[in-house]
């Protein structure tokens, strides 16, 4: 998809991401001299009145709330082809899901994120709006200026809630007809389709807090049916006091009447049990974590966690040949950052199914189909790199491969990369409604970064992509701009 020159009165700079229902573009507000994110309804949903109404309602819900911890909607409009768009806050520091790919947060940082997300939820609830989909991908980070310290401007990262695609007014919650939410984080009563109140969002925030504190999700629910009747989660461990475990468990009670009265009460109780954690670094600064070009610094190195050794007996994908190259698959989960390169271009496979935006120097393109290992038919694929054979094992170079393949479930792991020094543990998540699994490799021979992601596109197909890059910003940007049509 080529970038439009303008959306309404806003000049467009580049695409930030795309999903089943919308595409998000980075644009510039010439009147206010600031960058904005513009969310545009996908053209194939323009005539679906239900989807269109949900899109418009998201803007209305967000517009009701004035909080630094909720994405702000500045403007709305309609394109010449009838598609509505929303002009929103630009999250220049990406999402919590992206940040977690770099490693776990410190307890103080985790508590700070929970506190700010809790403030965002409280602001929504005060306006009578439920979020209904609190999860790492919907927690966005942006840089805020806190004034000047000495001769330099003091900035820090602020967390804010975004994506109210499932948001509903509380007075309408008793008339919900569609069950929605992310199974790992959704409250049981929401998974059952019952009438909801603010305690459903409290449950999701507690699940998020559990993830941030322990490095693992409290549940491994694959379906909403499983989430409707959850088992108690394992203890927090990691040296946290029993009082903290009790607070999180109370907020995760399957019986809503046993939870805290409201989100601020839960956050205050958790903070009280982790008070000693607040003395260390509460939040990262933009220069410490921003994945983007900073002269003389390597932000990714500064955040790299201790190397994780491969575990014996790690499950392998049965449909991959031994020693296969690591691949990244995704509808895109990159950091929303400024480009480190000045020019990009779009490449498409020969069927028009897969599109990806790549750096201009990735000029070697193969738009033909491929036959996945173990399959007996050809599937759409696209490959682009700095030279032919960029993905060979003996002379790897920067590039991307994206291909469809049959599959009714996500793999639990990805192939090893012996040429890379560090292998992060697989991260399960959801991107724009599609379940994903992601693995990041660093310190690789040739290009230093290899990222793998698999996305479950539908009941019978997966998307498999490999990205190799000299730097993480480029890898994430390419991932963020993989688009699949008609699936």
- Write out the binding residues for ATP: 39
Q: Which of 74, 96, 66, 83 is nearest to 27 (CA)?
A: 74
Q: Is 132 helix (H, G, I), strand (E, B) or coil?
A: coil
Q: Which of 402, 424, 422, 405 is nearest to 414 (CA)?
A: 424
Whether the Cβ atoms of residue 300 and residue 288 lie closer than 8 Å to each other? no
Cα–Cα dist 334/119, whole Å: 25
| DSSP assignments along 276-332, one per residue | GGGGS--S--HHHH--S--TT--HHHHHPPPPPPPPTT----TTS-TTPPP----S-
Q: How many CB atoms lie within 10 A of CB 233?
A: 18
Cα–Cα dist 269/53, whole Å: 38
Cα–Cα dist 189/253, whole Å: 11
Q: Please calculate the CA angle 165-339-381 and round it to the nearest 5 degrees.
A: 70
Whether the Cβ atoms of residue 4 and residue 12 lie closer than 8 Å to each other? yes
Task: Provide the total of helices (H) and of strands (E) in the chain, helices listed first.
Answer: 11, 21
Residues placed in the known binding site: 39
Q: Is 29 a catalytic residue?
A: no
3-state secondary structure 370-431: ECCCCCCCCECEEEEECCCCCCCCCCCCCEEEEEEEECCCCCCCCCCCCCEEEECCCEEEEE
The CA distances from residue 88 to 3, 72, 169, 432, in Å, are: 18, 6, 20, 17
| DSSP assignments along 422-471, one per residue | EEPPPEEEEETTEEEEEEEEEEESSSSEEEEEEEE-SSSEEEEEEEEESS
Whether the Cβ atoms of residue 142 and residue 284 lie closer than 8 Å to each other? no
Catalytic residue among 115, 133, 262, 483: 133
Residue 276 in tokens: 């000693």
Main-chain phi, psi angles of 222, to 5 degrees: -100, -15
Cα 64 to chain centroid, rounded: 24
From the number of C-beta atoms within 10 Å of its C-beta (0-12, 13-18, 19+), residue 125 rates as: buried
Q: At what angle do helices 263-273 and 242-251 cross, to 10 degrees?
A: 170
Q: Active-site residue numbers?
A: 133
């Amino acid at each position: 998809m080529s970038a439009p020159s303008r959306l309404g009165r806003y000049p467009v700079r580049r695409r930030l991401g795309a999903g089943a229902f919308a595409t998000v573009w980075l644009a510039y507000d010439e009147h206010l001299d600031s960058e904005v994110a513009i969310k545009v309804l996908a053209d194939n949903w323009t005539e679906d009145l239900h989807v269109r109404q949900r899109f418009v309602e998201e803007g209305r819900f967000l517009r009701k709330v004035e909080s630094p911890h909720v994405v702000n909607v500045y403007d709305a409009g309609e394109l010449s082809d009838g598609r509505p768009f929303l002009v929103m806050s630009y999250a220049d520091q990406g999402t919590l899901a992206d940040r977690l790919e770099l490693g776990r947060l410190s307890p103080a940082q985790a508590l700070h994120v929970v506190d700010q997300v809790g403030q965002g939820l409280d602001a929504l609830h005060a306006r009578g709006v439920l979020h209904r989909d609190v999860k790492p991908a919907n927690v966005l980070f942006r840089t805020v200026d806190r004034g000047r310290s000495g001769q330099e401007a003091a900035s820090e990262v602020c967390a804010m809630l975004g994506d109210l695609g499932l948001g509903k007014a509380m007075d309408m919650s008793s008339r919900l007809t569609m069950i929605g939410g992310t199974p790992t984080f959704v409250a049981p009563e929401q998974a059952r389709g019952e009438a909801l109140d603010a305690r459903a969002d409290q449950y999701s925030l507690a699940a998020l807090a559990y993830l941030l504190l322990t490095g693992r999700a409290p549940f491994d629910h694959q379906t909403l049916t499983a989430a409707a009747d959850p088992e108690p989660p394992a203890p927090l461990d990691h040296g946290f006091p029993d009082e903290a475990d009790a607070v999180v468990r109370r907020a995760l009670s399957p019986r809503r009447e046993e939870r805290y009265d409201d989100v601020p009460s839960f956050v205050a109780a958790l903070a009280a049990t982790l008070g000693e954690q607040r003395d260390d670094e509460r939040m990262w600064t933009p220069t410490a974590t921003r994945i983007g070009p900073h002269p003389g610094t390597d932000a990714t190195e500064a955040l790299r966690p201790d190397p994780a050794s491969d575990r014996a007996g790690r499950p392998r994908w049965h449909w991959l040949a031994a020693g296969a190259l690591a691949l990244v698959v995704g509808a895109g989960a990159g950091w929303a950052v400024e480009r480190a390169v000045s020019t990009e271009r779009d490449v498409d496979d020969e069927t028009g199914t897969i599109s990806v935006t790549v750096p201009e120097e990735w000029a070697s393109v193969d738009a033909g189909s491929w036959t996945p290992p173990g399959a007996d038919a050809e599937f759409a694929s696209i490959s682009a790199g700095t030279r032919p054979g960029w993905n060979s094992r003996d002379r790897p170079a920067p590039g991307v491969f994206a291909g469809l393949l049959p599959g009714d479930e996500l793999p639990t792991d990805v192939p090893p990369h012996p040429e890379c020094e560090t292998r992060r543990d697989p991260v399960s998540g959801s991107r724009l409604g599609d379940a994903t699994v992601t693995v990041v490799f660093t310190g690789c021979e040739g290009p230093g970064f290899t990222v793998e992601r698999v996305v479950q596109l539908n009941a019978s197909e997966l998307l498999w992509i490999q990205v190799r890059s000299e730097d993480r910003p480029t890898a994430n940007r390419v991932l963020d701009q993989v688009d699949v049509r008609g699936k």
